[in-house]
Amino acid sequence: MKYMLLIYGNQEKWSSIPAETWPEAIAKQDAFNKKYQGTGELLGAYGLADAAAARLVRRTDGTPAVTDGPYLETKEYLASFYLLDCENEQRAYEIAADMPWADVEPVEVWPVLHEAAADL
Amino acid sequence: MIPDRGVEDLLRELAPQVLGALVRRYGQFDTCEDATQEALLRAAMRWPSEGIPDNPRGWLVTVASHRLLDEVRSHQSRRRRENAIVAATPQSELLGRPADADPGADRDDSLTLLFLCCHPALSPPSQIALTLRAVGGLTTAQIAAAFLVPEATMAQRISRAKQSIRTSGTTFTMPEGPERAERLRAVLHVLYLLFNEGYTASTGPDLTAPQLSDEAIRLTTWLRRLLPEDAEVAGLLALMLLTEARRPARTTPDGALVPLAEQDRNTWDRTLIGNGVALVTEALARGPVGPYQVQAAIAAVHDEAEHMDATDWPQILALYELLEQLAPSPMVTLNRAVAVAMVHGPSAGLVLLAALESDNRMVRHHRLLATRAHLLELAGERTAAAADYREAARRATSLPERRHLTTCAARLAS
């Protein structure tokens, strides 16, 4: 089963973290990524750029129309995502709880829809 | 390059024999496994154009042994191990195998190998991946494609599995007594999971990915040749054949699921059904009876009914009662509830389901809600049934099942 883990946050929250603690935090995250790439359960881990770099895209007359946004300053927004492929839900929860920040910030765990279906 | 089916089939047949022979002689399962894969790859590239050698097994053992030797040479404790390998290799083995060689040795090695891949130190996904590579002779890329994960991820999973076997200190010997029975159960479970994975997944976009259900049937047929006396091995094979027989009818061309009751039974594969019925009949007569034989018997009763109304539900109910004694699980109870509903009416089935609603494993499960919806619909309670179908759809993680459940809800609401 595949699961998506999502981490949210916002600039205000990240700015409040002392700069000198970042290297350690990043090292912890790298260690987490390495650990689960090593078990063959982490398919990908991606951090997103700041919301200032995000854009909204629509199709207008067959061509992309790109505008600024989304405007998310007040709310928390998606900061990074992780794609797992692991044995079951319990295992996905176990891995999510092993995220370096999971003791202070919750991690969202979403099952990814799959094409398999049992007989009816 | 178009794969040569003849060569490919031969290589996959020989893969466990070659690996088994190597591990038997040198130990070091993980290094031998890599060497065997390289020998298989080299053969796959050369044999189609150069022709199959007179002794293909000997050719593969020779190439894999040389590869192993290269590997060992590059290793630190070079001389000592090199001497050990040279000393341990009978010249005759490198040249080929005499025609009168004991085929029993290959049989035992292949079985030991399969049992090793299903080692309890490994999680089921790792057992499956390792079995497909070491016993099935598939490449890491093929296995990755079949499970829709990147090749690097699958490579990591396989290498981790081999590492776990090494650190568990397991030797290349067949477990004995109760441990052997326990391990055989694990082996059958791995083959069962493999079949399910292939049977339930619709064909992905990658047409070169191996069909996992075919692979499961191939490996189980092979296992049955090695253990012809085991009734559960026969039962599992029968279950696979009887389930596979319904494949043409279980989905529409656009991928929508068709429930058993609505399937076009003319498209069921009669040859597979005949083979499956014969297998399970023979297995049940031999005994001892086990869960796979009973599940196969249930599949056989369904497969032998010419139409839904002709289904022998009292017999199916009796079989589910037996299955629940042999291998109790909430899923079995769920299926028994459907059989109870067909024999004694929907309200009797609903009473049985109510007992499951207090089971923590089941209370949020979409299958419980979907079954309850079905029984409520049979009881004529359309509104409650529609609500349960909708809730089941919300909980399902399978896209085809979700679509099907949503359709059921919509049908009742209109």
Domain ranges within chain A, ordered by starting residue: 2-51+71-80+91-111
Share of chain B above pLDDT 70, in %: 90
Q: Are B409 and B393 in contact (CB under 8 A)?
A: yes
> How many pairs of residues across A and B have Cβ atoms under 8 Å apart?
75
Convert the pLDDT of each residue in B134-171 to its tens digit. 999 999 998 998 888 899 999 999 999 999 998 888 88
Burial A11-31 (b: 16+ CB within 10 A, else e): eeeeeeeeeeeeeeeeeebee
Interface of B with A (CB under 8 A): 123-126, 129, 147, 149-150, 153-158, 160, 196-197, 200-202, 204, 243, 246, 250, 257-260, 367, 397-402, 404
Q: How far is B40 from chain A (nearest CA, A)?
A: 24
Q: Which two tokens stand for residue B103?
A: 């085929």
Kindly list the residues from chain B whose CB atom is less than 8 angstroms away from the CB atom of residue A120. 257-260, 401, 404
The minimal CB distance from B160 to the residues A39, A86, A115 is found for A39
Is B250 in Cβ contact with A119 (below 8 Å)? yes
Residue B95, pLDDT > 50, answer no
Kindly list the residues from chain B whose CB atom is less than 8 angstroms away from the CB atom of residue A85. 147, 149, 153
Is A111 in Cβ contact with B200 (below 8 Å)? no
The minimal CB distance from B201 to the residues A1, A86, A116 is found for A116
Kindly list the residues from chain B whose CB atom is less than 8 angstroms away from the CB atom of residue A42. 153
Locus of tokens 């109790």: B328
Q: Are B123 and A86 in contact (CB under 8 A)?
A: no
Mean pLDDT of A55-64: 91
Supply the mean pLDDT for chain A: 89
Locus of tokens 């025609």: B99
CATH code of the domain occupying A2-51+71-80+91-111: 3.30.70.1060
Task: Name A77's bridge partners.
Answer: A9
Residue of B nearest to A114 (CA): B398
Give the three-class secondary structure for B382.
helix
The minimal CB distance from B259 to the residues A114, A115, A120 is found for A120
Looking only at Cα atoms, what is the longest distance across chain B?
80
Phi and psi for B170 in degrees, rounded to 5? Answer: -70, 135
Give the three-class secondary structure for A108.
strand
CA A100, CA A116: separation in Å to the nearest integer? 33
Residue B193, pLDDT > 80, answer yes
- Cα torsion B243, B245, B249, B254 to 10°: value is 80
Supply the mean pLDDT for chain B: 88
Kindly list the residues from chain B whose CB atom is less than 8 angstroms away from the CB atom of residue A93. none
Does the pTM of the predicted model rise above 0.95? no
Q: Which of A35, A43, A115 to mutate to test the interface with B (most CBs of B within 10 A)?
A: A115
Convert the pLDDT of each residue in B106-140 to its tens digit. 778 888 999 999 999 999 999 999 999 999 999 99
Which pLDDT score, from 0 to 100, does residue B220 have? 96
Q: Are B93 and B61 in contact (CB under 8 A)?
A: yes
The minimal CB distance from A40 to the residues B160, B200, B204 is found for B160
Q: Which two tokens stand for residue B191?
A: 């083959």
Which pLDDT score, from 0 to 100, does residue B201 have? 66
CA A1, CA B200: separation in Å to the nearest integer? 13
Which pLDDT score, from 0 to 100, does residue B1 have? 43
Element (H, E) at A77: strand A77-85
CA B28, CA B19: separation in Å to the nearest integer? 11
The minimal CB distance from B401 to the residues A41, A42, A117 is found for A117
Convert the pLDDT of each residue in B247-301 to its tens digit. 989 888 887 889 999 999 999 999 999 999 999 999 999 989 999 999 999 999 9
Q: Which two tokens stand for residue A96?
A: 């999510």
CA distances to B140, B293, B295, B355, B361 from B327, rounded to whole Å, are 34, 12, 11, 18, 16
The minimal CB distance from B156 to the residues A1, A38, A117 is found for A38
* Closest to B293 in 3D by CA, of B214, B371, B188, B413: B188
Residue of A nearest to B129 (CA): A40
Q: Are B215 and B194 in contact (CB under 8 A)?
A: yes
Convert the pLDDT of each residue in B326-373 to its tens digit. 999 999 999 999 999 999 999 999 999 998 988 877 877 899 999 999
